[in-house]
Amino acid sequence: MDHTFEIKFGRKFFKASRNSRALLVLFSGLSNDRKGKLQNLATSLHEALRDVDILLISSFPGGVWTFSSPEAQASDTILMLDQVCAETDYEDIRFLSYSMGAAMARKVLVGAFGEKAVGAPFEAAFKPPTERRNWHAKVSRLVSVSGYARGWFANPRMAQWTRIALNFFGFLGHFLSLTQAMRKTPSVPLIFALRRGAPFIFNTRIQWLGLSQSKDWRRQDMTIVHVMPSNDELVSTVEVIDLESDDQRKGVHYMTVPNSDHKSVLDVSAGRGAKTSLQRLDYMLIALCGRGAGGIADTAFFAAGIPKLTDARIAVPVDYLDDTIAGKPNENVSNLVFVVHGIRDTGAWAKKVGAELRRQFDGKLKAKGTLTELRTDTQSYGYFTAFPFIFPWIRRQKVEWLMDRYATARALYPRATISFVRHSNGTYLAAAALRDYENCTFDRIAFAGSVVRTDYDWEKLNAGRKRIGRAINYVATSDIVVAVGPKGINRLFGRFFDLGSAGHDGFDKEGVVKNIRYAVGSHGAGIAEHTWKATAKFILDGTEPQPWPLDEKCYASVQSHLARWLGYSSPIILAIAALVTAGLGWGLSEKLLGLPQWSPAQWLLNLPSSFWPASGFAVRPFAGAAELGAVWQCYGQLPRLTQSISMAVYWWFVWLALFRL
């Protein structure tokens, strides 16, 4: 039998020996099948399934470092499948995806059903397939092999060098994103757009959840099969289990391929380990052709001796996969509240606010006699110091962490409205999520110590559809942290660092958001114990806190004059602080390591003398460059142990500042 393929519709196409009424679509992973394993699998499946056409799709044809949008690539794939199905009227279509191709396969299927059926808005880049495709009802099975349902990330269970490489990819993606941020149409590298919690992954999960709960999905009675290698070093079982669909219906099956890892699970080529390769091929055929509990025998997708998907020798119950599975959906939960802390904070207060929310909610339930429930999520993203907080790429990781939890929460509590209580960096997470994630919606938000820009456009969020109900923003009397830090950075660098001073100045435009002026206290004034009851009451029923003059104990009519003066002078204060820190650091190194007295820090401190000679500094502003060679020469004469310690400390700080992604 001839196993050669033809290039059709710009893709590799394996044509059946006679007129076929079934189509198998294979989605490659990030590497776009450079080693040909997916093509070898297509060849083997072509021989076993003689009456099935096979279309091999490069999920990411431009490469992972291009700035092409995955949404646009999904749109192109849908349009290409329109052409394929227009030429041949297939009766049965099945998808098989590998690794990151699983996310692309789901996106394509979501687009095929259309925005109306999904019930969740499509992104702007996902334009062409807004209406239902004619072939959507023909798709009967979705098979993912070692598939990323939640996107990739560098988790601790990976090998050390794999984790380092992924961290580097994350840093490079963030850096390239910043270089694109100044353009009119900013974008990110494709690999970065596929990271866990990224907008493409998040929106796909929310859209998939909407599709799995739709009437069209239930009528279609689709089968989903997750094929997992026995030793997958990249994708854990927790990542394979996506609550968006697995607990919504019974047609979801799991199986484990023995003697396989993430790379070898597709290796079905003959030769060395031929027995293992044939075993892997058998599992692929079972995933594609095996019948469910009550299914009927397929015509085109048929192979002799294939057991059912429910066979005890094959099936793996979902409860056996991992003991950290979040749980099954609870439709009785009507309210979910995220309480998220800020920088230099362990989030202990978040637990107290969560307890106050539950106390007030339980009191309302007893009064009304209802049976609904409230859940709070007070999980911490870890202790976050001030220095990493400055860098947008590190804050972006926290946003992605939040969006991953948000998508899981939407699956666990499908009927709940979601609200947020935020402090400091937590306010940035909420604002960035609303700005960058089309399917992120909040009922009510309470900000305290906000580091969001004062010109944040709240009204724009509700243009077209309502994404935010109401919000309050506590403005403190003496929030020197925000007045000097984020405000100074914003005035010095503009939008580059994406920080602002809403916790000190308030938001420019009120409407959706209401500034609560002025909470007595410093950076933590809005999360002080006396505010817990008022914040909880606003989150639950929308009653805004009553500021001065109704509450003269906790609120004031004016801000601290010192805080306002420091806010006005913040750029100068930051510049002086940077120079003094540099001078002290170099002076300490002079004492400990014996470096020359002339230094770059001294050069910077004496730079004004070139502009103001009358200042009394008799220095040569640009002479410091000549002395840098002497610094290096002196460093080379130090003992090797001292050199090693100093370089180790130096690179450790570089790692903390840049690579802690």
Q: What is the pLDDT of residues 549-567, one digit of tens each?
A: 666 778 888 999 999 999 9
The answer to whether residues 341 and 465 belong to one domain is yes
Please state whether the predicted TM-score (pTM) of the whole model is above 0.85: no
Structure tokens at 98: 């590998």
Query: How does pLDDT run across 365-423, given as a tens digit for each residue?
Result: 656 666 688 999 988 887 777 777 887 877 888 899 999 999 989 988 989 999 999 89
Does residue 420 sit in the same domain as residue 444? yes
Residue 650 has what pLDDT?
54
Asked if residue 549 and residue 628 are part of one domain, the reply reads no
Query: CATH number for the domain including 308?
Result: 3.40.50.1820
> Which stretch of 323-332, 485-494, 551-560 has the lowest confidence by average pLDDT?
323-332
Q: Which secondary structure element, helix H or strand E, spans residue 77, and what is its range?
A: helix 70-87
Q: Is the pLDDT of residue 239 over 80?
A: no
The three-state secondary structure class of 90 is coil
pLDDT at residue 179, as a whole number: 61
* Least confident range of 73-77, 80-84, 216-220, 252-256: 216-220
Q: Does 184 have pLDDT greater than 60? A: no
Same domain, 100 and 31: yes
Residue range 9-29, pLDDT digits in tens: 566 777 776 678 899 999 988
Residues 200 and 240 grouped into a single domain: yes
Radius of gyration of the chain (CA): 29
Per-residue confidence (pLDDT) for residue 182, from 0 to 100:
53
Q: How confident is the model at residue 243 (pLDDT cuts 50, 70, 90)?
A: low
Both 416 and 395 in one domain: the answer is: yes
User: How far, in whole angstroms, is CA 475 from its chain's centroid?
Assistant: 30
CA distances (Å), 278 to each of 3, 100, 147, 286, 344, in order?
18, 24, 21, 12, 55
User: If pLDDT is split at 50, 70 and 90, which confidence band does 591 have?
Assistant: low
> What average pLDDT is seen over the chain?
79
Per the structure, how many domains does the chain have?
Answer: 3
Q: Are residues 421 and 525 in the same domain?
A: yes
Instruction: Report if residue 168 sits inside a domain.
Output: no
Strands 252-257, 223-229: pairing kind: parallel
> pLDDT, tens digit, for every residue of 418-458?
999 989 999 999 999 999 999 999 999 999 999 999 999 99
User: Residue 623: which pLDDT band, with cuts at 50, 70 and 90?
Assistant: very low
**Are 221 and 317 members of one domain?**
yes
Length of the chain: 661
Bridge partners for 470 per DSSP: 444
Secondary structure of 609-624 in HEC code, one letter for each residue: HHCCHHHCCCCCCCCH
Dihedral through CA 296, CA 102, CA 26, CA 278, nearest 10? -70
The answer to whether residues 388 and 420 belong to one domain is: yes
What is the distance between the alpha carbons of residues 219 and 578, in angstroms, rounded to a whole number? 64
- Has residue 157 got a pLDDT over 60? yes
Q: Are residues 464 and 558 in the same domain?
A: yes
Q: Are 93 and 140 in contact (CB under 8 A)?
A: yes
Task: Tell me what pLDDT residue 67 has.
Answer: 75
Concatenate the DSSP letters of all residues of 527-551 into one string: GSGGGHHHHHHHHHH-PPP--TTT-
Residue where a domain stops, chosen among 546, 563, 580:
563
* Residue 166 resides in a domain: no
Residue 175 lies in a domain: no
Find the helix or strand (DSSP H, E) in which 86 lies: helix 70-87
pLDDT category of residue 582 using cuts at 50, 70 and 90: low
- Check residue 178 and give its pLDDT: 62
* Structural domain span for residue 104: 6-154+196-321
**Tokens representing 438?**
């089309």
Asked if residue 188 is part of any domain, the answer here is no
Burial call 202-220: b when 16+ CB within 10 Å, e when fewer: bbbbbbbbbbbbbeebeeb
Residue 284 and residue 136 share a domain: yes
Range 284-295 average pLDDT: 75
